[in-house]
């Protein structure tokens, strides 16, 4: 599942005419960074939700074959991160699936990213597994941390603590967490908190550089980070 339906309000004026997932960094749209990562992990089909300037996203994705694309149309009503997933559940099936944000990506030739995340998945212990990153390895982030990890990999809220980690915009989620949920606007944070309470929210720390592009000012920072990563700089 690729979450690509947001309005991109902080990216204005660019997003007045271009949907945020199609903003280009490192020579390709943000959306393609996530889809390429899914393809590299062996994903054969991806659901992409659309809302703002949806036609442009649909047109961009129409030639894509790896992964094959299923569009989840939210043009009548934006459903937020969790609501969009619930709406798309009929396309996602009954097994754990990746969720990837369309405005963040990561670079590290030494870490297979989603492959590594999947290798750490344990259905018996987990309902959600988040990809996390050290604050020092982020570009474009606001400086706040999201989660702390205990010795078993279980997560709790960091509330910005200096020793916390940042959610890297990628996760594996078992669809059982959405039992009785409705396709109404609501956030994934509700499910993060529920699985913290049940002891079934886990994290896996990625290596390399994680890049988020939230404002126009973040684009040159992202470009520089991509250039440095591709050149092999630390």
CATH of the domain at 193: 3.90.550.10
Q: Give pLDDT tens digits for 103-130.
A: 999 987 555 689 999 999 999 999 999 9
Helix%, strand%, coil% for the chain, nearest 5:
30, 25, 40
How many folded domains does the chain comprise? 1
Helix axes 54-61, 30-40, angle to 10 degrees: 40
Q: Give pLDDT tens digits for 177-232.
A: 999 999 999 999 999 999 999 999 999 999 888 999 989 999 999 999 888 877 76
pTM of the model: 0.92
> Domain range for residue 40?
2-230
Find the length of the chain.
Answer: 234
pLDDT value at residue 162: 87
State the pairing for strand pair 147-149/138-139: unpaired
């Amino acid at each position: 599942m690729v979450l690509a339906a947001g309005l991109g309000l902080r990216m204005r004026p660019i997003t007045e005419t271009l949907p945020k997932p199609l903003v280009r960094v490192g020579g390709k749209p943000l959306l393609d960074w996530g889809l390429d990562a899914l393809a590299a992990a062996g994903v054969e089909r991806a659901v992409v939700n659309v809302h703002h300037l949806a036609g442009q996203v649909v047109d961009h994705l129409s030639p894509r074959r790896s992964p094959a694309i299923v569009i989840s149309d939210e043009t009548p009503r934006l459903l937020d991160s969790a609501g969009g997933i619930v709406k798309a559940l009929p396309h996602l099936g009954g097994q754990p699936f990746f969720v990837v944000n369309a405005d963040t990506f990561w670079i590290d030739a030494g870490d297979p990213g989603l492959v590594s995340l999947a290798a750490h998945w344990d259905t018996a212990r987990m309902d959600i597994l988040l990809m996390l990153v050290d604050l020092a390895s982020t570009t474009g982030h606001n400086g706040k941390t999201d989660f702390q990890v205990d010795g078993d990999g279980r997560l709790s809220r960091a509330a910005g603590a200096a020793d916390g980690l940042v959610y890297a915009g990628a996760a594996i989620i078992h669809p059982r967490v959405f039992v009785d949920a409705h396709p109404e606007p609501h956030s994934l944070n509700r499910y993060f908190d529920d699985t913290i309470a049940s002891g079934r929210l886990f994290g896996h720390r990625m290596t390399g550089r994680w890049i988020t592009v939230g404002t126009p000012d973040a684009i040159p920072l992202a470009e520089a980070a991509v250039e440095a990563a591709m050149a092999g700089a630390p």
